[in-house]
Amino acid sequence: MSEIVIEHVSKAFKTKDGIVNALNDVNIEIDAGDIFGIIGMSGAGKSTLVRCMNFLETPTEGKVIVQGLELGTLSGKRLRKQREQMGMIFQHFNLLMQKTVLENVCFPLYIKKMSRGEARKKALELLEIVGISDKAKAYPAQLSGGQKQRVAIARALASDPKILLCDEATSALDPQTTSAILKLLKDINDRFGITIVMITHQMSVVREICNKVAIMKEGQVVEKGCTVDIFNHPSSKVTRELLHDDVETDSAQMIARLQKEIQGGEKIRIVYSENSAFEPVVANLILQYGEPVNILKADTKNVGGIAKGEMILEFMKDSENVEAMKNQLKASGLEIETYNYDADKEDK
């Protein structure tokens, strides 16, 4: 059953420079229990679309149907009531800085006229669910970005929503914290069956958590379907570009992680000649011992028609395999000597 139906929705804004068409004939169906990703670069219209889903923005044309109710036909009071079924979390958390974590989560409950005692009890239960019950008395300024987003999620869950709209909810977080927040959202989806809509420009977010996705560009949906199918067989240029950027980001993060792992390890200089220059000695080490080896420098020259060169390697700090790896390099016919990086810098 479709939880959210977007039918021929367009949205135009009047500006001093003229009319800006933020959305143009968008059609999407989101089923109950989905984690649905809406992805696109800045200006694609995805944030405008999510705000049309709860009528924070009124579409210029088209229909938004949520749980069988067409929002455009509801009175102000009924619309506000329907919005209680749709929690929302934002990129920059939107917490009340002068209130404690507990009071931030209680705030929507107070608006619903819940008693102070009942509100605090429910808020504590929600903080337990999102994993920060120990921060109930803290203020937002005392929290990390990931902790602030957990408070925002707890607050969004306070009204027992059936739908959770996440507008760039992880964009301000580092990769490790992003992964933890996505895991939390997946747990909430599994535990409560809440339909989640993820607005993002990060393909890695879609890949990790979403079962369906729509790709947007210039206010239009250019591709939509099951996430696995989109990743395996992208049909639009913008999707291929987003996938390419995702691969480059993953590679950069992996390199940064490996560099951190091997920082401070033993460094050696190896000298190779015609025969050994063509052997994948470093690749063989990594495959055999299952740990990274950093190539700090590699240089090959043709000396009298013979390939000569050197390579500076760095092993993982505290690795127990260094001597075995050095012996393997020697067995491959390579000359090895200890490399002093600081002394090398002074010589230069």
Q: Average pLDDT of the chain?
A: 85
Q: Sort strands 267-272 and 306-314 into parallel, antiparallel or unpaired.
A: antiparallel
pLDDT reported for residue 30:
96
Q: Looking at the domain 2-85+161-253, which fold is it? A: Rossmann fold (3.40.50)
57-61, 260-264, 291-295, 303-307: the lowest-pLDDT one: 303-307
Q: Which of 99-113, 231-245, 297-311 has the highest mean pLDDT?
A: 99-113
pLDDT reported for residue 59:
94
pLDDT reported for residue 346:
47
Contact of 8 with 62, CB cutoff 8 Å: yes
Under CATH, which architecture does the 267-347 domain have? 2-Layer Sandwich (3.30)
26 bridge partner residues? 9
Contact of 38 with 46, CB cutoff 8 Å: yes
pLDDT reported for residue 52:
94
pLDDT reported for residue 273:
63
pLDDT reported for residue 303:
46
* In the chain, where the domains are located: 2-85+161-253, 267-347
Instruction: For 165, list phi and psi in degrees, rounded to 5.
Output: -100, 125
The three-point CA angle 339-342-344 to 5° equals 65
Output the CA torsion 35→156→59→1 (10° steps). 40
Helix 116-130 and helix 101-111, axial crossing angle in degrees, nearest 10: 130
Helix 101-111 and helix 145-157, axial crossing angle in degrees, nearest 10: 20
